[in-house]
């Protein structure tokens, strides 16, 4: 079998670890793995790299994604879905693994429903993808925020001040909730629970 893998959307910690795990597991079964560079853009105008044990050995500690990424959505481009299907065939793919957030996984779902063999792997620091406990990138985001909050708390106590911290997460309060609880915040406001100041 020949498996393609791409990373789409914004950056998140853990992308290279996911790529490495896919290559190792596929290698265990004797599957060939091809990396699609620049997310869905790499399926519109194929740019690929063969992935094997030799070129994934030391990627876990690297930031970003060795496959590069983009926010290209082929469904918003005239004839984009057809181009992706054509590339799927030209590249000889039996399946494609798309690692991404809402947009990347939305494209994967639509293309999968049209008959392409595509699997989505959720990746977003926001952890706002349903049907999963934790997405790739979420744990690192929580731990980074928690360390920041702990440092700010120490400073606030020594100066007898109140500190307000705004955490990333778009419309989801998961990072704020988990990092706030772990750091011992006095109050945590999240978008899922309306509040007035």
CB contact at 8 A, 99 and 7? yes
Catalytic residue positions, numbered? 126
Of the candidates 58, 22, 13, 64, the residue with the CA atom closest to the CA atom of residue 39: 64
Burial of 36 (0-12, 13-18, 19+ CB in 10 A): buried
**CA–CA separation, 56 vs 65, rounded Å?**
11
Of the candidates 156, 155, 147, the residue with the CA atom closest to the CA atom of residue 178: 147
């Amino acid at each position: 079998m020949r498996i393609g893998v791409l990373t789409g959307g914004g950056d998140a910690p853990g992308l290279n670890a996911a790529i490495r795990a896919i290559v190792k597991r596929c290698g265990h079964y004797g599957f060939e793995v091809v990396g699609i560079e620049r997310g869905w853009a790499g399926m519109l105008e194929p740019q690929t790299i063969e992935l094997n044990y030799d070129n994934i050995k030391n990627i876990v500690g690297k930031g970003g994604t060795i496959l590069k990424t983009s926010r290209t959505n082929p469904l918003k481009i005239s004839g984009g879905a057809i181009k992706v299907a054509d590339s799927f065939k030209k590249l000889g793919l039996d399946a494609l693994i798309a690692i991404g957030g809402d947009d990347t996984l939305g494209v994967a779902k639509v293309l999968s429903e049209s008959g392409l063999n595509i699997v989505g792997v959720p990746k977003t620091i926001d952890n706002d993808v349903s049907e999963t406990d934790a997405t790739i990138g979420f744990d690192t985001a929580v731990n980074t925020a928690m360390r920041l909050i702990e440092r700010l708390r120490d400073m606030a106590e020594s100066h007898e001040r109140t500190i307000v911290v705004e955490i990333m997460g778009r419309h989801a309060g998961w990072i704020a909730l988990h990092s706030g609880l772990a750091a011992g915040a006095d109050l945590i406001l999240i978008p899922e629970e309306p509040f007035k100041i």
